[in-house]
Amino acid sequence: MRIEMFAAGIIAVVLCIPAYAQGTAAKPLRGAAKKPPAAVSQARQEQAKIYGARGEDVPATYVTDRALLSYGSTLLPDFLHSLAELGPSDRWLDIGAGQGRAILEYYGERFDAMHPDGRERRGSKARSVALSIEDRRTAEWHRVAAGLEPGKISYLHGRRLREYTPAELGRFRLASDVYGGFSYTSDLSLFMARILDLLETGGSFYTLLINVRTADAARQGAKRDEVFQTEILAADGRPVGICAWLRQIACAEVACDTDPSSETPIERYRIRRTCDQVSVPALETVHFAAGTPPARLFRLVAPAVPAKP
């Protein structure tokens, strides 16, 4: 009963926080008992209402129109360089693309003006796929898409990442996720395994999480009982940093840093696929409370989730 009341409080708080503090107020329960599936599926239904919200019903904290420059300042600093390096035969996947503004701006002249090196090699640029649970395409999306060569950009909606087969989506050189599925999924290890399925060997995935136990804080001996927006516990209840968990993935090279410009601890990640036999240490969902993004507590379990060959 106490857990349910606490969870209801989290939902209320998460839906009311200001846009600049996206997600900072939600706290997963430390050491909470594993929720019954009914409670987690109820939370997922609450989350689905956020995806379905339109007009004034969209929470102010549910931002779906970040610019490409915002991706550049939010993700690890080499993201825009990696994007600028792509050529016409490469593919870029933006998971949790919202309106897809970042993709549209990639095809604009401003991007080339800001990244003059390699302009010729870039040519007509990579093909891009925007993935979103809900369709948030704008008139601008349709206008830009109509002006590009057929198949240059596509917008897939109606399903979560995990509901696509690798064959449906194909392989990508680059993937990004700015407050998309990596921040919103209730099954983080499955999500991670699916992304790695989609990356070419040598391809990279850039993402971030807000309000986590950063590797820097862990090194400085952060308090054990602190609570975070997304947290992983070992089977014995010890906290495991997100970066430390990512570094346990087989066939992945991981870079992590803390965003120096943010007071809220934001950790940024680049995960590069290095070989075929990817295996992600499995997590079970202990707690999930709907929000923008949701509050999540995971526990490490064995065995690892293998990526599809």
Ligand X SMILES: C[S@@+](CC[C@H](N)C(=O)[O-])C[C@H]1O[C@@H](n2cnc3c(N)ncnc32)[C@H](O)[C@@H]1O
Q: Are strands 279-280 and 305-306 parallel, antiparallel or unpaired?
A: antiparallel
CA triplet 47, 193, 24: central angle to 5 degrees? Answer: 40
**Smallest separation (angstroms) from ligand X to the CB of 271:** 16
Among 23, 28, 181, 281, binds ligand X (CB under 6 A): 181
183 DSSP assignment: H
Pattern 229-268, ligand X, x by CB under 6 A: ----------------------------------------
Between 239 and 292, whose beta carbon lies closer to ligand X? 292
Between 239 and 294, whose beta carbon lies closer to ligand X? 294
The SS3 assignment for 31 reads coil
Residue 82 CA: distances (Å) to CA of 10, 66, 177, 270: 37, 19, 14, 11
179 scored as a contact of ligand X (CB under 6 A): yes
**Smallest separation (angstroms) from ligand X to the CB of 120:** 30
Among the listed ranges 59-67, 106-114, 205-213, 279-287, the one in contact with ligand X (CB under 6 A) is: 59-67
Between 30 and 157, whose beta carbon lies closer to ligand X? 157
64 scored as a contact of ligand X (CB under 6 A): yes
**Smallest separation (angstroms) from ligand X to the CB of 253:** 24
**Smallest separation (angstroms) from ligand X to the CB of 67:** 8
Cβ neighbors of 174 (< 8 A, separation 6 or more) are 82, 83, 86, 90, 91, 92, 93, 126, 203, 204, 205, 206
Cβ neighbors of 242 (< 8 A, separation 6 or more) are 209, 212, 213, 230, 232, 256, 267, 269
161 scored as a contact of ligand X (CB under 6 A): yes
Among 7, 15, 92, 98, binds ligand X (CB under 6 A): 98
Contact between residue 233 and residue 297 where contact means Cβ atoms under 8 Å apart: yes
Ranges of beta strands (E only) in 190-248 are 199-210, 230-233, 239-240
65 scored as a contact of ligand X (CB under 6 A): yes
Closest CA to 45 of 11, 10, 2: 11
126 scored as a contact of ligand X (CB under 6 A): no
Say what angle helices 2-16 and 37-52 make with each other, to 10 degrees: 20
Separation of alpha carbons 85 and 83, rounded Å: 5
**Smallest separation (angstroms) from ligand X to the CB of 5:** 27
**Smallest separation (angstroms) from ligand X to the CB of 59:** 10
**Smallest separation (angstroms) from ligand X to the CB of 50:** 9
83 scored as a contact of ligand X (CB under 6 A): no
Among the listed ranges 13-21, 62-70, 109-117, 199-207, the one in contact with ligand X (CB under 6 A) is: 62-70
Between 35 and 66, whose beta carbon lies closer to ligand X? 66
Separation of alpha carbons 238 and 73, rounded Å: 32
Among the listed ranges 28-36, 177-185, 199-207, 251-259, the one in contact with ligand X (CB under 6 A) is: 177-185
Q: Which residues of this chain interact with ligand X, rule CB under 6 A?
A: 51, 62-66, 95-98, 131-134, 160-161, 178-181, 184-185
